[in-house]
Amino acid sequence: MLKRILGSYSQGKRGPLLICSTGLHGNEWAGVNAMELLLQILEDELVTNPTFTFHGKLVAIAGNLPALNVKKRYINCDLNRIWSQRNFDNPGNEAEFGEMMKLKEVIDDLILEWGGEDVYLLDLHTTTAKGGIFSLPTTEVESIKIAETMHAPIILGLVEKLNGTMIKYYAGRTDAHITALVFEAGQHDDNLSINRAIAAVINCMRTIGAVAADDIENRFDQLLIDYSRDLPKMANFLYGHHIAPDDHFVMKPGYLNFDRICKNEVLANDRYGEIISKYEGMILMPHYQTQGDDGFFIIKEVESHQII
């Protein structure tokens, strides 16, 4: 039986608190597996590297436990779209509202214990379509700085666009300083997604000063570097297609993340007819699953930090 706190690592030295959340979507097990392996890698490091020093604390947590148990994105509703003060004050009866309140209590306690400063929240996900390796920072400089070390395309503006996500809530907290971002490690069932998630967390631990660059061999980092070679370094969010209930949305088959699309290209169909792209750009997270109401996103490559 999966526990809410998958594990933690600390040597009792001062430093940042890094909370890695996994499985907010129950069909995304790669993050869970990655954190269990990484915690073991950290435990083993001292055996071969007696001078290994870890500053601060790493805590790995699991999100939607009932959905993870049945490997579904969610039971009643998307746990990563309901984080709001209104829902905390008056949570619904759906399974995910209970999960949100339990998750929030665990994370809030960790933040409080750390004094609300030097706190980082890295939310690990995977995608249905292949090729989905990217990071989603907030507009905060520190968040973008961490994303830049993850050797994966950085998508700007999507965190701001999506309402009710966990990291948007925590990044917006005014009573604590929390640097938050999302890392998408690849396709749900691709075993390499586990390795890429491990590599991203190690890079994050280095950037925030938890571990020195020489410690913990990051043997999976080359996977990220190789995979991202032909992908844009940075892209701006342009458009998101929302699926309403009974839309009968069907994505055209065969799209991969970062596939280039033309203006006026037919991307999908629903009960109103063809859904045509208003933009030239690249496709992100095309909807090839039965659950969820994000149809697809369109992004545009940028040369520098042009946040829209």
Interface contacts to Zn ion, rule CB under 5 A: 25, 28, 125
Least distance to Zn ion from the beta carbon of 5, Å? 20
State which residue, 121 or 216, has the beta carbon closest to Zn ion. Answer: 121
Least distance to Zn ion from the beta carbon of 147, Å? 17
State which residue, 80 or 195, has the beta carbon closest to Zn ion. Answer: 80
**For 111, which DSSP code?**
H
Least distance to Zn ion from the beta carbon of 166, Å? 11
Q: Which residue is nearest to Zn ion (CB)?
A: 125
State which residue, 28 or 118, has the beta carbon closest to Zn ion. Answer: 28
State which residue, 166 or 211, has the beta carbon closest to Zn ion. Answer: 166
State which residue, 210 or 299, has the beta carbon closest to Zn ion. Answer: 299
Cα 25 from Cα 65, distance rounded (Å):
9
Least distance to Zn ion from the beta carbon of 39, Å? 21
Least distance to Zn ion from the beta carbon of 262, Å? 28
Least distance to Zn ion from the beta carbon of 122, Å? 13
Three-class DSSP category at 68? helix
H/E element, 169: helix 166-171
State which residue, 28 or 215, has the beta carbon closest to Zn ion. Answer: 28
Number of other CB atoms surrounding residue 14 within 10 Å: 7
Least distance to Zn ion from the beta carbon of 182, Å? 8
Number of other CB atoms surrounding residue 13 within 10 Å: 11
Cβ(264)–Cβ(290) under 8 Å? no
Alpha carbon separation from 27 to 38, 186, 187, 251 (Å, rounded):
20, 13, 11, 20
Structure tokens given for 10 = 């600390």
Structure tokens given for 40 = 């073991």
Angle between helices 30-48 and 191-207 (to 10 degrees): 60
Residue for token pair 């520190």: 142
State which residue, 57 or 125, has the beta carbon closest to Zn ion. Answer: 125
Least distance to Zn ion from the beta carbon of 247, Å? 21
Structure tokens given for 110 = 């960790």
Number of other CB atoms surrounding residue 30 within 10 Å: 27
State which residue, 183 or 255, has the beta carbon closest to Zn ion. Answer: 183
Pairing, β 250-251 against β 55-62: unpaired
Least distance to Zn ion from the beta carbon of 24, Å? 6
State which residue, 45 or 123, has the beta carbon closest to Zn ion. Answer: 123
Cα 129 from Cα 286, distance rounded (Å):
7
DSSP secondary structure string for all residues of 109-132: HHHHHTTTSSEEEEEEEEESSTT-
Alpha carbon separation from 253 to 265, 269, 286 (Å, rounded):
13, 11, 9
